Chains A and B, each alone.
Chain A
Amino acid sequence: METEARALEGTRPVDDPAVEEKISFDKQAIPTHYDLPPAFFASFLGPWMAYSCAYFVDEDGSLERAEEDKLLLTAKKLRLKEDDCILDVGCGWGSFIFFAAEKYGCRAVGTTLSEEQARLVNTLAAERGLSDRIRADVLHVYEMDYPDASFDKIVTIGAIEHMEDLGRVFARCSALLRDDGLFLVHGMTQPWRSREETLAGIRTESDDLLEEHFGVGHWHSLWEVIEALEKNDFEVLDHENITNHYKLTVERWLERLIDGEEKIVGEITPEEKYREFIAFFASYIFSFEMNNTLCNQILCRKIKRGELRPNLPLTREHMILHSKEA
């Protein structure tokens, strides 16, 4: 893959000792969560192993359907095409890159901080004969050193919650994306009132929850995400609030964990870890219910001032889940 020319042309992304320190911290903290055995996550996630908000067309929808619909919706928003080269920042077990490669024929690179996840993605890619299309790299977002403008589309799903300096994250993404390329940011935010407290040094339940469970948690407010995007040459094309979808998603994960208790505890994970996840999912749901946590999909385009604006879809029709348009 072209992107294997990493670091040859890329700008040096990190130049600050404080940032280096944060990178080492994240590298040690984040995998404590994601390096748990994939079989444990598989026991409650859907078949694509997406560990992020699914998309429900009705309240009673199945996780399987909603998981695939989220991937389809994301692909539609990004207007994926066969010759697209995609970067997925924080790719997890590869749900989106596999979807993009298998359903659209794209080439895709995913990054993660978890060795376990990268190993699984690369092994599955080999097993499915997709090694020439899909690759996962263990790489901190601040250190992404692929050649500039090497991607047609970039996506990040459920990962900005782990990233402290969104300005730095989006600056990297902006450099790696070709001009006019699309960038989809899918992630949780907290309402400004809660965020204000965090910034004033007052810990909120959301902060504690994220940090305790994931090792690292940074919940920004929506306007901060958008500010960081705009400051890095992205224009926002569309924003969709998907908070209720995430509540339904976590409800499904919780149901599966509870239904599968007998098999999961002992065979797959110790009871202590099992209970930790039950408690975490319950408080996650509560946090959505109480408007302490929100979830968004923000679609952007990389723009250059002074360049002729292309024709863009005039309506949202193409990004309606089951619309006929591609």
Chain B
Amino acid sequence: MEGLTASYIFDHLAPKFIEDNPGFPCRVNAVVSIDILGEGGGSWTFDLTDNPRVYRGLADDAKCTLTVSASDFYALLAGGSLSDCLEAFKQKRINFRGHLPTALRLERLLVSLAKDPAIAEHSRI
């Protein structure tokens, strides 16, 4: 995971994407948390409601909470494909609580993050 940290993704890239794409939170219009397990992991929440922001920790009021291992998380992020994420779910590599379709609304963010040079580079490691 050298060169790529969860903090870089959630504290830098994701907030920037939200800032650059003001229409995105309206499309999601929900709170989604993600719990990344293992080394290089952590918990983050996308609050994409009235005051869009990304913060550390899980939210009690999340419409959906995803759980994934760090290694799967980075691989799926680099792939940037919603279909691959659903495939991972079928294989029990992703789990969820709440309303799964809401989490799928993050697709645009996923596709955009996959294009970041550090993430793309990571996928070649």
Contact digits for A289-306, partner B, Cβ 8 Å, 1 yes 0 no = 100000000000000000
Task: Decide if A32 is an interface residue (CB 8 Å cutoff).
Answer: no
Q: For B107, what are the chain A residues with a Cβ–Cβ distance below 8 Å?
A: 286
B92 touches A208 (CB 8 A): no
Give the docked Cα–Cα distance between A283 and B89 (Å): 12
Provide the bound-state CA to CA distance between A254 and B101, in Å. 10
Q: Find B105's partner among A272, A275, A281, A286 (CB 8 Å cutoff).
A: A286
Q: Which A residues touch B7, using CB under 8 A? A: none
Further 4 A-B residue pairs, CB within 8 A, beyond A275-B90, A281-B101: A275-B89, A279-B90, A282-B101, A286-B105
Give every chain B residue within 8 A of A281 (Cβ-Cβ). Answer: 101
B positions within 8 Å CB-CB of A: 82-83, 86-87, 89-90, 92, 100-101, 104-105, 107
Docked complex Cα distance between A276 and B86 (Å): 9
Interface majority SS (helix, strand, loop, mixed), chain A: helix
Across the interface, do B83 and A286 meet the contact criterion of CB distance under 8 Å?
no
Interface residue? A278 (CB, 8 A): yes
A286-B104, A289-B101 known; A205+B82 contact, CB < 8 A: yes
Out of B83, B89, B90, B105, name the residue touching A208 (CB < 8 Å).
B83
Interface check A285, CB cutoff 8 A: yes
Identify the closest chain B residue to A258 (Cβ): B100
Contact check, A282 vs B82: say whether CB atoms are below 8 A apart. no
Contacts of A289 in B (CB 8 A): 101, 105
A218, chain B: closest CB distance, angstroms: 19
The contact of B104 among A208, A272, A282, by CB within 8 Å, is: A282
| A-B residue pairs in contact (CB < 8 Å), sample of 10 | A208-B83, A272-B90, A275-B89, A275-B90, A279-B100, A281-B101, A282-B100, A282-B101, A282-B104, A283-B82
> B81: nearest residue on chain A (CB-CB)?
A205
Q: How many residues of A contact B (CB 8 A)?
A: 16
Tell me whether B90 and A276 are in contact (CB under 8 A).
yes
A286 to B110, CA, bound (A): 15
Most buried by B among A275, A281, A282: A282
- Specify the chain A residue showing the minimal Cβ separation from B100: A282
Contact (Cβ within 8 A) B89 A278: yes
Residue pair A286, B90 in contact (C-beta under 8 Å): no
By a CB distance below 8 angstroms, the chain A residues around B83 are 205, 208
Q: Is the CB of B101 within 8 A of A279?
A: no
8 smallest A-B Cβ distances: which pairs?
Answer: A285-B101, A282-B100, A286-B104, A279-B86, A282-B101, A275-B90, A286-B101, A279-B89
A201 CB, nearest partner CB in chain B, Å? 18
Could you tell me the distance between the alpha carbons of A272 and B93 in the complex, rounded to whole angstroms? 12
Binary B-proximity of A188-227 (CB < 8 A = 1, otherwise 0):
0000000000000000010010000000000000000000
Q: How long is the Cα–Cα vector from A205 to B87 in the complex, in angstroms?
A: 13
Which residue on A lies nearest to B89, using beta carbons? A279
Q: A205-B82, A282-B86, A283-B86 are in contact. Are A275 and B92 (CB under 8 A)?
A: yes
Q: Which of A249-295 touch B at CB < 8 Å?
A: 251, 254, 271-272, 275-276, 278-279, 281-283, 285-286, 289
A38 to B123, CA, bound (A): 43
CA distance A283 to B82 in the complex (A): 9
